[in-house]
Amino acid sequence: MKRLAFALAAVAYALPAHAALPVGASAPNIVTRAAKGGKQFDFALKAALRKGPVVVYFFPAAFTGGCTIEAHAFAEAAYDFAANGATLIGLSADPIDRLAKFSVEACRDKFPVGTASLSVIKGYDVHLKPGAAMSNRTSYVIAPTGKVIFALTQGNPVGHVEGTLAAVKAYRMGKR
């Protein structure tokens, strides 16, 4: 009986949950410090949207098991996102100095990661726990209009890259 309960819990954890911002919602603006390849810079969602769709993925904490796995997966797909006209950024409540190191070691200099302030976490309603200054694992694709065209919230990092890349490709092909 314990095995069955554990198996059901594991499956439920891996299944996608309802994302905080639904498809069609307006994405709140993000203005933050980010780092790519260890170099810090200012990131603004509105400016990035002028270039095309933006993949924004929230993760709980740099250098943790699932977040490192997810960063490696996004790094492997970074060329595919760029080839399809999308900007990619990861966001966490971690301090920028920690994220600068993470951008080199886990993101492999392929894409930026930025600091998600409490107001951004609230705006996207991606609290790991109510009132916590830490985000859950949620990925979005935001169209240049500022509308969410894909959203996925789930604790397991598997599926975030595949889902966001499929949404970017569908957008590029005019299917969204």
Q: Summarize the confidence of residues 22-32 as an average pLDDT.
A: 97
Of 17-31, 50-64, 72-86, 150-164, give the lowest mean pLDDT range.
Answer: 17-31
> Which pLDDT does position 20 carry in this prediction?
80
Number of structural domains in the chain: 1
Task: Provide the pLDDT for residue 110.
Answer: 97
| Alpha helical stretches, state H, 23-153 | 45-49, 65-83, 96-105, 118-123
Contacts of 172 (CB under 8 A, 6+ apart): 84, 85
Does 28 map to a domain?
Answer: yes
**Out of 27, 62, 67, 143, which one is annotated catalytic?**
67
The predicted model scores a pTM of 0.87
| pLDDT tens-place string over residues 110-162 | 999 999 999 999 999 898 887 678 999 999 999 999 999 999 999 999 999 99
Residue with structure tokens 């554990």?
6
pLDDT-above-90 percentage for the chain: 82
- Is 6 part of a structural domain of the chain? no
Q: How far apart are CA 41 and CA 45, in angstroms?
A: 13
Residue 133 confidence (pLDDT)? 81
DSSP string, 97-119: HHHHHHHHHTSTTSS-EEE--HH
Catalytic residue list contains 67: yes
- Structural domain that includes position 90: 18-172
Q: How confident is the model at residue 82 (pLDDT cuts 50, 70, 90)?
A: very high
For residue 128, the model assigns a pLDDT of 85
Q: Where does the pLDDT of residue 19 fall: very low under 50, low under 70, confident under 90, or very high at 90 and above?
A: low
| 108 in any annotated domain | yes
* Alpha carbons within 13 A on the beta-carbon side of 69: 9
DSSP symbol at 30: -
Could you tell me whether strands 113-115 and 138-142 are parallel, antiparallel, or unpaired per DSSP bridges?
unpaired
Does some domain include residue 99?
yes
Q: What is the CATH number of the domain that holds 165?
A: 3.40.30.10
- At residue 17, the pLDDT reads 44
**Assigned domain for 106 exists:** yes
Q: Taking 50 as the threshold, does the pLDDT of residue 45 lie above it? A: yes
135 φ/ψ angles, rounded to the nearest 5 degrees: -90, 160
> What is the pLDDT averaged over residues 72-92?
98
Q: Has residue 7 been placed in a domain?
A: no
Q: Is residue 105 part of a domain?
A: yes
**What confidence score (pLDDT) does residue 169 get?**
96
Residue 86 counted as domain residue: yes
Q: Which residue from 137, 128, 67, 133 is spatially nearest to 102, judged by alpha carbons?
A: 67
Q: In 3D, which of 146, 128, 135 has the Cα closest to residue 50? A: 146
